Amino acid sequence: MDKKPKIIIVGAGISGCMAALAAVSKDVNVSLFTIMPPCRSPSSAIQSGFNAALDTAGENDSPEIHAADTMAHGGGLADPRAVERMCRNAPALAGFFDRMGVLFDRSTDGLMALSKSPGSTHSRTARAGDATGHAILSALDGQVRWLALKEKIRPFEGWEFLSPVCGNGGLYCGIVARNLRNSEIKTFASDAAVICTGNMSRHAHGAFVHGALLANPDFPAGGLWIDGNHATSIGGLFAAGDAACQYHGRTALQGNEIPAKAHGGRIAGSVAAVAAIDRHHRGSVPQAIFDAAKAREEDALAKIFAATGDENAHIIGREFSALMAGIPSATEDKLVELEERLSNARSLDTSQWENAEVPFMRALKFKIALARAHLASKDKRREKNELRTIKIKWTSGGAESTS
């Protein structure tokens, strides 16, 4: 057992890097898992700015007004306390990135220039040209590498998260991950973890199948259900960023995307670190549980390699995208059919080395499963006929709502 409590962060986009930084400041061991170099994560493509009620334009903006705009835009669906907290912290986060070297556009007197974004009643959007996501992620990539040099973060670049390992009582105790270079599957134990794997949560499917509820999977801003402290429904497992559903309600206020990731990542990393310190002394989990989890994932991989069907996963993927775009409209039956066809698709690549087909097929399988959750949520919403958070759980028969 590690001498120090340990947390695992999965994903090194804006929310994952912020979670890692927050955990480091709590003095726990931090392992950061990412498929690709942090600076290439999808956060790099975000072109909307960073909303913060700094009020340098002297319009009497405030975090309270920012929160009100956010709640209104989200259809009143987001948790008001979580939103207030984000809006209260956004100015401090903007200052943090400013000090970190993010080159925000400037006003004539040298402060951060703030513009008014659609949906906001006041000017509060800081920008770094039209590459704010890239500018912030690039600075965070630098911070993470700096901390890795000082051995405060242990990076695992080129590893794909497969599933959480859950011990007695379904509590989190580690992850199973696959090395994308040589296909090696390994388990990693830790006292807590934060899932920061991004939108549509297909990389978080492993968590979904192990009991983590989804919230509003039928909305663009849906994802893993979390409470006010970023805890998922699996004890010891937290989530932040687009992988989690928290700050946006139906849809994000333009310019709130990055603050939600940054703030959420920071809260999740801090809370997870405190949870890790608390859980560290509960005693170790039997190795048999880790071995069983590893064996399960190895079997799943072997099944993909052993499949001999004629179906082509890429063609199924294209049909799936068309289905979800409404052409023709998606139904549970059609999705189940695609799932079955996919299980008959053989991998076009059976090499153990730098195999891109296996992650593609895995991701597609999970996208289809999440689409079923999307439909279940949509049906439940229609049935309830009011705007509320719909929670979805995984079952062997598909997805069902819990309410």
Partner 1 sequence: MDIGRCRINVMTSVLLKIKRQDDPGDLPYWEDFEIEAREGLTVAAALASIGENPVNANGNPTVPVVFESSCLNGMCGACSMVINGKIRLACKTLVNELDEPVKIEPMGKFSVLRDLKVDRGKMFDAIARFSPSFDCAPPHDNDPPLRISPERQRRLSVFSTCVMCGACAEACPQVNPRTDFSGAFIFARTVTLNEHPISSFNNDERLSVLKERGGIADCAGAKVCESVCPMGIPLSEGISALQKSATAHSVRKLTR
Residues near partner 1 (CB under 8 A) are 21-22, 25, 36-37, 39-42, 44-45, 54, 56, 89, 91-93, 95-96, 98-113, 128-129, 131, 133-135, 138-139, 142-143, 145-146, 149, 181, 266, 312-315, 318, 348-349, 351, 353-354, 356-357, 360
Q: How far is CA 91 from CA 59, 112, 366, in A?
A: 15, 11, 37
Whole-angstrom Cα distance, residue 6 to residue 148?
A: 15
Shortest gap between Cβ of 239 and partner 1 (angstroms)?
21
Whole-angstrom Cα distance, residue 118 to residue 378?
A: 27
Shortest gap between Cβ of 142 and partner 1 (angstroms)?
3
Shortest gap between Cβ of 335 and partner 1 (angstroms)?
20
Whole-angstrom Cα distance, residue 344 to residue 196?
A: 31
Nearer to partner 1, 343 or 352 (CB): 352
Shortest gap between Cβ of 93 and partner 1 (angstroms)?
5
Nearer to partner 1, 143 or 187 (CB): 143
Q: How far is CA 29 from CA 11, 32, 338, in A?
A: 16, 10, 42
Shortest gap between Cβ of 126 and partner 1 (angstroms)?
11
Whole-angstrom Cα distance, residue 216 to residue 223?
A: 7
Strand arrangement of the beta sheet that strand 391-395 belongs to: 244-245, 223-225, 214-215, 391-395, 398-401
* 250 C-beta neighbours (distance < 10 Å), count: 17
Shortest gap between Cβ of 241 and partner 1 (angstroms)?
16
Nearer to partner 1, 134 or 374 (CB): 134
Whole-angstrom Cα distance, residue 244 to residue 71?
A: 17
Whole-angstrom Cα distance, residue 19 to residue 147?
A: 13
Token digits of residue 97 = 């990135």
Shortest gap between Cβ of 275 and partner 1 (angstroms)?
19
Nearer to partner 1, 80 or 95 (CB): 95
Shortest gap between Cβ of 129 and partner 1 (angstroms)?
6
Closest CA to 107 of 57, 173, 143: 57
The stretches of 281-331 forming alpha helices (DSSP H) are 287-306, 313-324
Closest CA to 273 of 23, 50, 17: 23
Token digits of residue 26 = 């709590």
Shortest gap between Cβ of 99 and partner 1 (angstroms)?
6
> Which region holds residue 129: left if phi is over 0, alpha if psi is between -120 and 50, else beta?
left
Closest CA to 173 of 162, 185, 164: 164
Nearer to partner 1, 23 or 376 (CB): 23
